[in-house]
């Protein structure tokens, strides 16, 4: 085999391997909330933990990998809304007048009778603290 043939064969093999790896990564199953044991915490305790010692709260509640820590937060709905992506969110009362725990719901998992004052339990992945404590990919616990 000549030099051009070897180079062409090598490039083809590398592209095939890259394609297989890309396909497997693209079709990798996404972690689900219901399959994990959750850290159970009230909205007011979660908000207090982040507002008093953000670094310690990050280590306790924010996962290094997306599916390594699931939170189950209980509390009272303080406000509802919808973000620019069309995702419904609920702010749970964290004991502060202006801020709380913002739960951004997975599409199709919105709470049908959500209104201020309703007690809920929501599972999600905590992404940190930015005035509100943020939970993503949330679902209501039935």
Q: Give the pLDDT confidence score for residue 65 in this predicted structure.
A: 62
Query: Which tens digits make up the pLDDT trace of 46-77?
Result: 999 988 888 888 888 887 765 567 888 999 99
Specify the higher pLDDT residue, 75 or 111: 75
Please state which CATH number belongs to domain 38-140: 2.40.50.140
C-alpha 8, offset from chain centre: 44
DSSP letter at 53 equals -
Residue 12: pLDDT above 90? yes
Global pTM value: 0.71
Give the count of beta carbons closer than 10 Å to the beta carbon of residue 33. Answer: 20
Bridge-based pairing of strands 100-105 and 88-93 is antiparallel
């Amino acid at each position: 085999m000549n030099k051009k043939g070897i180079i062409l064969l090598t490039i083809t093999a590398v592209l095939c391997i890259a394609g297989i790896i890309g396909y497997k990564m693209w079709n990798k199953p996404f972690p689900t909330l219901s399959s994990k044991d959750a850290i159970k915490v009230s909205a007011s305790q979660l908000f207090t933990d982040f507002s008093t010692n953000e670094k310690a709260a990050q280590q306790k509640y924010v996962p290094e990998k997306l599916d390594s820590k699931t939170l189950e937060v209980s509390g009272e709905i303080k406000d509802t809304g919808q973000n620019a992506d069309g995702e419904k969110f609920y702010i749970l009362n964290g004991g502060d007048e202006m801020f709380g725990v913002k739960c951004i719901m997975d599409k199709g998992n919105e709470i049908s009778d959500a209104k201020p004052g309703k007690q809920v339990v929501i599972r999600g992945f905590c992404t940190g603290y930015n005035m509100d404590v943020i939970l993503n990919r949330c679902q209501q616990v039935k």
